[in-house]
Every structure is written in structure tokens, then in C-alpha cells.
Amino acid sequence: MGKIVILTGAGISAESGLGTFRAEDGLWAQHRVEDVATPEGFARDPKLVVDFYNARRAQSAAAEPNAGHEALARLETYHPDEVIVVTQNVDDLHERAGTRNLIHMHGALSGALCHACDHRWPAPMVMAPGDPCPSCRRGTARPDIVWFGEMPYQMDEIFDHLASCEIFASVGTSGNVYPAAGFVAEARRMGARTIEFNLERSLVGDLFEDVRLGPATGTLPAWVDEVLSRTA
């Protein structure tokens, strides 16, 4: 049947109670993106940014994986070929559902990064501005999150997977943010079949051959049953 690559966004964690970004009451309605999700915002007001991610870390720890995360973990366990989840999410709900083959392309709330020496270590639940780096000892810790203008992680690996997959699926992402929004075009160009799961068509929805509309906790388990029944 071949390799399956699944791109996930904030919509897959919405039914676990974590807010999305671009909904009317989403995170970008409550915070200016320039203030909390850019390196320039961090340089201007590190406390504002660190507090924003401390609050998100606490919300993520209090949330539980839902039937959508669990369906993708089940797919990885029982599909005879490779299944890769590439998530834009910084929460840890995929790993807590049991997904192992996972790329956090926009970083993770669980990580801290030194912006002076690039050392990485597990973030404490509550970070403070000016926390010391355990390697270079300077007060240059930041959340290990990919902000606007920064290069997302593991891009070469992701493009290799897009070039060699049979199916590319996208779940709960609006198609506003690149390079992730460009993955469907790349996967199609390389010959993959493409399928989108969302409440409504995303900005790049026209590029998908198949679109399943509805909450991911319903549409994903049904699709995983369908895929696994074809391989049984």
C-alpha cells in the first residue's frame, strides 16, 4: 500500500480543548502574532512571550489526546508500511496517544533552546526570561518554538517523505502558513494521492483529490478503519 504522510495542525487538538489560531475566538484574536510568535517580539518583550508559552504548556499538560490522535497512532501500529506524522502543533498529544514516527516541524512546548549557542534541553513547566543555558551559562534560554521568519525543523527529511509517499493527508490546518501549506502541492507533484480532513475546506483545499468535512474525532477513525480494511 505504501508510505502515508499525515500533516496535522491545531484543528486536531481542538476537540481536546486546545485553541486554534485563526478561529474568531482563537489565539491570534487574543494576542498579536508579531508580539508572541516572532524573534523580534521575543527581543522586545521576553516576559510576554515566555508567559504566553508557559500558559500554553500548562493547557497542553491538562489536555488529553482525543479519538483523532488515537486513530493516527492506531494507523502507525497496524499499517504494514511506514506512517509519518508531521505536526505543526507544539503540544504533545500525538506522542501521548502513542505516535512514535513524529516530526514537530514548529518545535515543541516541552523544549528549551539557547538562542546564543543553539543548545537544547527539556523545558521546565514554567520558564522565566533570562533563564540560564545549561551549556554556555548565559541567560539566553527561549522556548524551542519555530516563530515567523525562522526555518521549520527537519525540512529535508519532510521533503524526502513527501517525495516517497503513496498517500498525503492533511488534518485540521487552515493552509495559511508556509512551508506546510505547500506540502500538498509537492506531494501531488511527486505522485501521491491526497486527502484533507477539516471542518471546512482549507485555503489549499482545491488541491486535494478527496476532502472529508467534519470533526477530526469522527472523520479520522472512519478513514483509518477504511485504510486498514484495504490492507487486511
Beta carbons of 192 and 29 less than 8 angstroms apart: no
Under the binding rule (CB under 6 A), the answer on residue 41 touching ligand BJW is no
Under the binding rule (CB under 6 A), the answer on residue 232 touching ligand BJW is no
Q: Can 161 be counted among the known catalytic residues? A: no
* From 79, 106, 119, 161, the catalytic residue: 106
Question: Any bridge partners for residue 112, and if so which?
Answer: 121, 143
Site string for ligand BJW, 156-195 (x = CB under 6 A): ----------------xxx-xxxx----------------
Please, what is the angle between helix 216-231 and helix 67-78, to 10°?
10
Task: Give the torsion through C-alpha atoms of 125, 27, 205, 184, to 10 deg.
Answer: -30
Considering the complex, state which of residue 4 and residue 145 has its C-beta at the smaller distance from ligand BJW: 145
Considering the complex, state which of residue 163 and residue 199 has its C-beta at the smaller distance from ligand BJW: 199
Contacts of 149 (CB under 8 A, 6+ apart): 38, 39
Interaction with ligand BJW in 141-160: which residues (CB under 6 A)? Answer: 145-152, 155
Residues that bind ligand BJW (CB under 6 A): 9-11, 14-15, 20-22, 26, 37, 88, 90, 106, 145-152, 155, 172-174, 176-179, 197-200, 202, 215-216
Q: Catalytic residue numbers?
A: 106
